[in-house]
Amino acid sequence: MTVSLSTHAETPLEQKRRFEHGGTTMAAGHRVSLKNLSAWYEDQHAVKGVDLDFEPNKVTAIIGPSGCGKSTLLRCINRMHEEIPGTRVEGEVLLDDQALYSDAVDVTAVRRAIGMVFQKPNPFPTMSIFDNVAAGPRLSGTKGGDLRERVERSLRSAALWDEVKDRLNQPGIGLSGGQQQRLCIARAISVEPEVVLMDEPASALDPASTLRIEELVEELKTRYTIVIVTHNMQQAARASDTTAFMLDGELIEAGPTEKIFTKPDDERTERYVSGKFG
């Protein structure tokens, strides 16, 4: 089972697979592998030769102190890092067995396959709730009843439908912060990705909204491979199956979350998770 990333049109079979994926049944997820991945801003070496696998249908948390390169690492996975002028990536990112940085790969297809939720809720300010979620599917030509159905399904998946179903035409920025972030999650999954990246998705939210996001992450992992960057260690401990610890651009240690938080192999991990620095 592979995801189509090249520019060629989808075959009916591929399309069918993709639609089955968008459904609510448990689907075989997709693995993301980083092979000796390095990233730079101008001369600053922000990610240094990281090898890491993100398991299908698991939540992987990346933790580490500010500036350790965890967000940069995340942005390399869906090739958003290259949108910043003066940046550079080396090494490989694989989705199943496809190299995302190979020349034949269409970058917009990568981003449709690997969705992203940002640190600050960022709904499009001029658009209604409906249009915010519809923006992605519309790019690939979905319209009419299909579009409405897709929007509803995405909002339901993001646990927001019941709160907004009667005011889909109101502006997205009229929602509360936590609702806005769930709207952004709905927007991210509206294009039916295989992997969802979350860059500190709850750092701008209050504790109650944070918990809702974490519950949502738990639900979403039945359908997606999830990578979540967080500087909140409790959150990593609560919400993830696997945890990776980064320091100064290097991956120090990765393993089952429980192990990382109770008996890590590396002494620096131990000091970080016990709050001695960072």
Distance CA 157, CA 142 (A): 19
Strand order in the sheet with 98-99: 44-54, 32-41, 87-95, 98-99
Query: Is the Cβ of residue 64 or residue 137 nearer to other proteins in the bound state?
Result: 137
CB 275 → other proteins: shortest distance, Å?
31
Residues of this chain that interact with other proteins (CB under 8 A) are 78, 80, 83, 85, 108-112, 115-116, 118, 120, 122-127, 135-136, 139-140, 184, 187-188, 190-191
d(CA 243, CA 258): 8
Q: Supply the minimum distance, in Å, between the C-beta of residue 79 and other proteins.
A: 9
Q: How far is the CB of 123 from other proteins (least distance, A)?
A: 8
Our CB check for other proteins shows the closer of 127 and 147 to be 127
Q: Which is nearer to other proteins, 6 or 126 (CB)?
A: 126
Which of 111, 238 has the CB closer to other proteins? 111
Q: How near is the Cβ of 245 to other proteins at its closest, in Å?
A: 25
Rounded Cα distance, 86 and 107, in Å: 18
| Token pair 């890491």 in the structure block, residue | 52
In angstroms, the CA 225 to CA 68 distance is 23
| R_g (Cα) of the chain, nearest Å | 18
